[in-house]
Structure formats: C-alpha cells, structure tokens
Amino acid sequence: MDAAAHAYTSRGVNLALQLMNAPGWAIHSKYKNVDKNAWRYPREEVHQRAYISALLQRYGEHTQFVQIFNEPDQTRFWSGQPEEFVSQFQYSRDEIQKYAGEKSLPIVNGGYSLFEKEKTAYFAEQLKGQLDMVAYHCHGDLNALIEDFSFVKKLHEKSGYENPRFVNTEMGFDGWRLDQELRKGQFVPQKTLYCWATGHAGALLFGSRMTLGPNRRSQDFGFLDHYFCPRYVYGSVAAMVSELAGASFDSVLLEEDNRFVYQFTREDKRIVAAFTLDQTAEIKIACDATAAIQIDAMGNREKIETPGTVHMKLSNYPVYLEWTNAGAAAVVTLQ
C-alpha cells in the first residue's frame, strides 16, 4: 500500500482516501457470529477510530479529501442497519476532524450506488450538514449519468441542502469485450466533460483497477489491458487531459439534439470540446480568433486555415477546437 501511494504522491498526485472497515477482529459484538462477508458489518467504535487515525497519520498529508466507506445504500457493501452506518459515519467524521485540526480536509460520504433509493434518501437526510461534498457513482453511459445526477441533485434539494457540491467518485465503464472497450473510450471523456460543465467538484475515472486477464468477464475498468497495452480510452482521456489541463470551464454552448458543445478558457486560448450521441453530426462554429487548431479524439493537432468559422464533424468521441486571441463568444449552428 505504501509503495502504491508513494508512486502517485511522489509525482504530485493527491489521494482520495477512502475509509473502509477495520479488520474482521474489530467487528461489532452484535455481529460477532457473522461468518460470511464480515467486512460489510459495523465495527466497534474504539477499534474503528484507531484504524482511521492510523490511516490518516500515514496518508493524510497527501489527501485531497476523505471518503467514509463505499455505497452504504446497498446491502452488498453495508449489511448493518442504516442507523448504524450513520453512527459510524459520525464518529469517523469526528476522528478526521481531530486529525485535520485547522487544516481544510473535505469529508465526503461513501459514494451512493442508488441501488436502494430509499436508503439513499435516508442517508441524504441524516448526513445533512456533515458533508463538504456529496458523492455518488455511475458506471453507465452519459444518459445514465444525466439521469443519476438529476436524481441525486433533486433528492438533496428536497432534503434541504443549500448549494451542495457533488463529486462522482466512480464513473468507469466496464469494457471486457472489444465493442465495450470501444464505447469506454467514448463514454469516459463524455462523462468527464459533462461533470465539469455541471459544476461537479471532481470526477474519479475509476480506470486504473480491475484489469482482467484472458477469458474473464465483467468488471474490467482498466485503461490498459492485461498486457499493459493502451486501450482506446487511454488515448481519448489523454487527449482530453492534454488539451484541457489548466483550463477553466466557461459556458455551455449547446446541449440539444444529442449534441454537446462546451467552452473552456486557458490564458489567451478559447477551447471548445464537442461530441454527439448520434453516430455522426456536424456543427458550424464561429469566433473572432486570429488562429485555430483542431484536435481529434486521440490528440492529433491540425491547423485550420480559416479560424473565424469552422465546420466540425462530430462523433461519439469528443474532439476539440483551440482558438487563439478569441474575444467574442462562439456561436454554434446545427448542420
């Protein structure tokens, strides 16, 4: 674990520290006779507090935020009573705050799965006022993400949250078949751009785990295959990161007819990211820029001779348009 954490932190990458349960010997006495999947049940407070304190002492320095448990709104992860999770959450939060002191260390719920929505609603109500961000998961396509985010947002508004910030802490796409692998390369950057455009505090791509060997099915979220060869998603995410690193979201230019066009800024650059959920589409986009470069889904760059008005051919893979010295907002016209 130390080596894995150091591989990231030594390169300037902070951790999303997820607090699961202490080892099985720390299980709550109420569940001491559980002999299967004991990791899903509550822990004795004294042992869980000690476990959390030790983790924070070891990894807290490089932690971006702390997430307490995982998907408590489904029995496959939390098999205790919902009120027992609330209790464990509250003393876990207390232990995190003791460690943080005056430092800012955001606290997040274990991402909601939305599998048992009555539990999601219960936790939304019970954890009000105790979260710095609200976390949820979505492993489907963009339409699934739009639906799930709408549900989570409305649920927390109904529960009385004021301007909550959301973070998608699992958004990978299962791609163990070749056709799924192709779609993963499209869905992951689509979903990332949508989260950015809708004001999410962040999104965890869930792309460095569960890479399966030959002849295994389901739950393969890796950006590299089992031979460590890059997949389509490696290229499409690398292109997105390379183009938008250091950029700030500016505005939604278009979200209709299955076309999504977002505008970002970085220094003297105005950057447009665009894709369609249909097989193909075209848009015409205009700006008063002095120069323009179009970037394809894998990051290949091509100078555009007429930077003022550009015809963009869209597919399910996001593509990018980079303008220099663009002062006016772009205008999108459907073709």
Q: Is the pLDDT of residue 326 over 90?
A: no
Per-residue pLDDT tens over the stretch 43-52: 999 999 999 9
Strand 301-304 with 291-295, pairing = antiparallel
Per-residue pLDDT tens over the stretch 91-104: 999 999 999 999 99
pLDDT at 333: 78
pLDDT at 335: 66
Q: Is the pLDDT of residue 330 over 80?
A: no
pTM: 0.95
> Stretch 151-165: mean pLDDT, rounded?
97
Per-residue pLDDT tens over the stretch 183-203: 999 999 999 999 999 999 999
pLDDT at 189: 98
Give the chain's domains with CATH numbers.
Answer: 2-246 (3.20.20.80), 249-334 (2.60.40.1180)
Candidate ranges 171-175, 177-181, 300-304; pick with highest mean pLDDT: 300-304
The rounded percent of the chain whose pLDDT value lies above 70 is 98
pLDDT at 224: 87
Query: Quick one: pLDDT band at residue 334, thresholds 50, 70, 90?
Result: confident
pLDDT at 217: 76
What mean pLDDT value characterizes the chain? 94
HEC states along the chain? CHHHHHHHHCCCCCEEEEECCCCHHHECHHHCCCCCCHHHCCECHHHHHHHHHHHHHHHHHHEEEEEECCCCCCCCCCCCCHHHHHHHHHHHHHHHHHHHCCCCCCEEECCECCCCHHHHHHHHHHCCCCCCEEEEECCCCHHHHHHHHHHHHHHHHHCCCCCCCEEEEECCCCCCCHHHHHHHHHHHHHHHHHHHHCCCCEECCCCCCCCCCCCCCCCCCCCECCCCCECHHHHHHHHHHHHHCCCEEEEEEEEECCEEEEEEEECCEEEEEEEECCCCEEEEEECCCCEEEEECCCCCEEEECCCCEEEEEECCCCEEEEEECCCCCCEEEEC
pLDDT at 329: 65
What distance in Å separates the CA atoms of residue 15 and residue 143, rounded to the nearest whole number?
29
Q: Is the pLDDT of residue 23 over 80?
A: yes
Per-residue pLDDT tens over the stretch 299-319: 999 999 988 889 999 999 999
Per-residue pLDDT tens over the stretch 199-236: 999 999 988 766 777 777 778 888 988 888 899 999 99
pLDDT at 177: 84
